[in-house]
Structure 1
């Protein structure tokens, strides 16, 4: 299974403020949707609660140590079904919510899938990078500084190499540019 981390990161390392994005960047939201659609997405509880609904067309796996955690009800007030280990998971493109208590448990549970995307927050990113789980980083590198309370973790840049970059210059009301960048883990020497 390929583990990909996807995030938008300001020049000063900020990725969020008060459980939301500190910028409005529709191009990044479209890129995120296009990239993750049909695949499982793994996120921390606070990230899920900031979205407040399962992302459609994706298996949504939420990490939480709260044994009684339940997602907010659907718009019609009905409770949302939650899958717990070791229950079988649906296909990655089926909208569903699953809950795991640790990153290791979630990744073991997701092992039958070809790819999983880590979508936040900062604690999940830091743990995954620190433990060496990440194969690919898909970063939207924003060429501006933003105030925020969530930072992207330091990552071992020498262990990754850039394989793709799309530059987007400042445009319209947006005075800053951004790049979509892919970094792949470098194979360990034999």
Structure 2
């Protein structure tokens, strides 16, 4: 993911079986991430680059919306900012018992995360929930996602956390803003049953605390 401070990307940890599946719900789930050319998104619980433009882009995109993340990602954000992301409602997917401040809540399953995010979206008067990492949380929500907002870096980076592989036939690029060394790219999922997406592979992720 991209963040307002470096370190908003978490490393994958212990998984458990719980997978989000696509629905026709009014609330849209959109994955937001900064991704190197080799799919790296993190290293040692941090981001292996610092792009101020990307941090501003992340803030503009997600402010005023619910955001779903794993525990490691949340803790990295809290260390940087002294608490949850401001002007957003953080839904933290974790199997641990966390005591979170106002503006954040902990849930222990993907279904609970979806329900909490949808409730927060209704309360905030918005129809989009952003999924902001880490790697396994991206994987869990990829099949549910209606869109992807990616900061695509031109170069490869060393790292221990990667954005999940996706069937590119299932996605259509709808916007691109090329910058020096990276691009802001938006993808929308093709309609289910679209012949262009036929034969695409479905991911089979597991739940974790990242």
| Residue 113 (structure 2) aligned to one of 106, 114, 137 | 106
Shift of residue 144, structure 1, vs aligned partner: 0.7
Q: Would you say how many aligned residue pairs link Structure 1 and Structure 2?
A: 158
Match of 1:44 in 2: 70
Richer in strand (by share):
1
Match of 2:93 in 1: 63
1:151 aligns with 2:151: no
Unaligned regions of 5+ residues in structure 2, if any? 1-26, 122-126, 195-210
Match of 2:201 in 1: none
Describe the superposition over 1:101-159 as per-residue Cα deviations: whole angstroms up to 9, x where unpaired.
Answer: 11221112322421100000001011111xx1111000000001111110111012111
1:126 aligns with 2:139: yes
Match of 1:19 in 2: 45
Question: TM-score, structure 1 length as denominator?
Answer: 0.80
Taking the aligned partners of 1:40 and 1:110, their CA distance within structure 2 comes to 6
Shift of residue 183, structure 1, vs aligned partner: 0.4
Richer in helix (by share):
2
Give the aligned CA root-mean-square deviation in angstroms. 1.2
Describe the superposition over 1:15-61 as per-residue Cα deviations: whole angstroms up to 9, x where unpaired.
Answer: 00111110010000000000000000100000001111200000011
Structure 1 residue runs of 4 or more that deviate by more than 3 Å after TM superposition: none
User: Structure 1 residues 10-19 or 111-120, which shifts more?
Assistant: 111-120
Shift of residue 70, structure 1, vs aligned partner: 2.6
| Residue 162 (structure 1) aligned to one of 150, 163, 173 | 173
Taking the aligned partners of 1:43 and 1:188, their CA distance within structure 2 comes to 26
Larger Rg: 1
Taking the aligned partners of 2:63 and 2:42, their CA distance within structure 1 comes to 22
Match of 1:85 in 2: none
